[in-house]
């Protein structure tokens, strides 16, 4: 409810008597005028796309599937402010050029789910219709950087405030109708390239396990006791080979993820009646990691490969694991670091 104080009401009546008209301004109206002038100066040939996105540069390939609703798009992108400063990128080459490259970060295609309300309106307007291998640069006004949907540009101007204008450069690497099937295919291709001639052992949809034939426990048949404590070393990787976590100091140093604040060495795993209750040093673990340990025999070395539903899901984890990422965990059951048997 909009209350007015008496002296404001009096002033209004005086203005009315003088035939003055109160102007009803729209939030972002000044910004819209400024952006129009900026475009006229820097990109006079910019093309409007959708509700307010402006295409600044287009490099169409004219081939491949087109981005449509719904689908998943694997994209490489760089974001700049309107002064040209890079604010984020998934391109390692550009990150190196700007001095922001971090060896522990993931660089490469990211997965965008193209569905109404899943992307900012301005980005959706930018990429719809783009085909595989197309590259496009577009200005995304601040008022279109919202997951909400409105019926007109005026509503976006009125409802979405406080965002800076951004320039996106996006390349469509691949259009994927079914991201889960894509992950399965990717895992099986990785398996075939890593262990030629072997058939992947899929124990659950999206989960694969391989026993290392040279491991000491490879020939043993007995299961681990499900109410005991064992010790493991492990290394977690993306399918591109990038290591994001390990208990082995040498591996951490070799892969630029070493932390002096961390203690490296075998970690304690508390087994349980089912894989969902397995804990690592008293903490819960992702389902694929637990399922891998669940398959193992005493003193065995094995590899679990699984899709994102058993990992970090649709959002990934931190700067090292992207969304919808299949993972590989190499796990080895080892002796108790205190000198006792691995299995207690």
Compute φ and ψ for 194, nearest 5 degrees.
Answer: -85, -40
Q: Which two tokens stand for residue 105?
A: 């970060």
- Is residue 331 within 8 A of residue 215, CB to CB? The reply is no
Q: What percent of the chain has a predicted confidence (pLDDT) above 70?
A: 88
Tens-place pLDDT, residues 157-169: 999 999 999 999 9
pLDDT on residue 3: 34
Band of pLDDT at residue 336, cut at 50, 70 and 90: confident
Q: Is the pLDDT of residue 17 over 90?
A: no
What's the mean per-residue pLDDT of the chain? Answer: 89
The arithmetic mean of pLDDT across residues 261-284, rounded, is 93
Q: Which domains are present in the chain?
A: 29-177 (3.10.50.40), 180-334 (3.10.50.40)
What pLDDT score does 116 carry? 85
Identify the residue whose tokens are 């389902």: 287
Global pTM value: 0.87
Q: What is the pLDDT of residues 22-67, one digit of tens each?
A: 456 789 999 999 999 999 999 999 999 999 999 999 999 878 999 9
Higher pLDDT, 97 or 220: 97
Quick one: pLDDT band at residue 279, thresholds 50, 70, 90?
very high
Separation between Cα atoms, residue 316 and residue 110, nearest integer Å: 10
């Amino acid at each position: 409810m909009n209350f007015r104080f008496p002296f404001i009401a009096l002033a209004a009546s005086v203005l009315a008597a003088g035939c003055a008209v109160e102007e009803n301004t729209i939030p972002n109206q000044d910004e819209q005028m400024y952006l129009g002038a900026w475009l006229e100066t820097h990109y006079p040939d910019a093309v409007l796309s959708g509700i307010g996105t402006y295409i600044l540069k287009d490099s169409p390939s004219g081939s491949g599937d087109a981005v449509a609703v719904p689908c998943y798009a694997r994209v490489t992108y760089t974001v700049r402010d309107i002064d040209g400063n890079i604010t984020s990128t998934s391109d390692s080459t550009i990150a190196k050029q700007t001095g922001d490259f971090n060896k522990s970060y993931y660089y490469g295609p990211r997965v965008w789910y193209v569905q109404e309300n899943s992307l900012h309106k301005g980005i959706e307007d930018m990429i719809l219709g783009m085909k595989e291998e197309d590259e496009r640069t577009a200005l995304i006004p601040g008022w279109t950087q919202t997951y909400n949907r409105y019926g007109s540009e005026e509503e976006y101007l009125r409802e979405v405030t406080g965002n800076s204008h951004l320039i996106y450069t996006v390349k469509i690497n691949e259009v994927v109708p079914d991201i889960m099937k894509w992950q399965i295919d990717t895992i099986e291709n990785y398996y075939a390239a890593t262990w030629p001639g072997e058939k992947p052992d899929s124990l659950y949809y999206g989960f694969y396990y391989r026993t290392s034939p040279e491991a000491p426990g490879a020939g043993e048949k007995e299961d681990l006791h499900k109410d005991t404590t064992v010790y493991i070393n492990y290394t977690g990787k993306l399918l591109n080979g990038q290591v994001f976590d390990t208990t082995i100091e040498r591996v951490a140093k070799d892969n630029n993820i070493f932390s002096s604040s961390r203690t490296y060495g075998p970690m304690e795993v508390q087994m349980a009646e089912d894989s969902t209750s397995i804990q690592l040093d008293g903490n819960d673990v992702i389902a694929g990691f637990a399922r891998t340990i669940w398959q193992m025999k005493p003193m065995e070395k094995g590899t679990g490969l699984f899709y994102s539903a058993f990992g970090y899901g649709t959002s990934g984890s931190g700067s090292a694991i992207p969304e919808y990422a299949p993972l590989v965990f190499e796990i080895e059951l080892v002796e108790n670091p205190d000198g006792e048997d691995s299995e207690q």
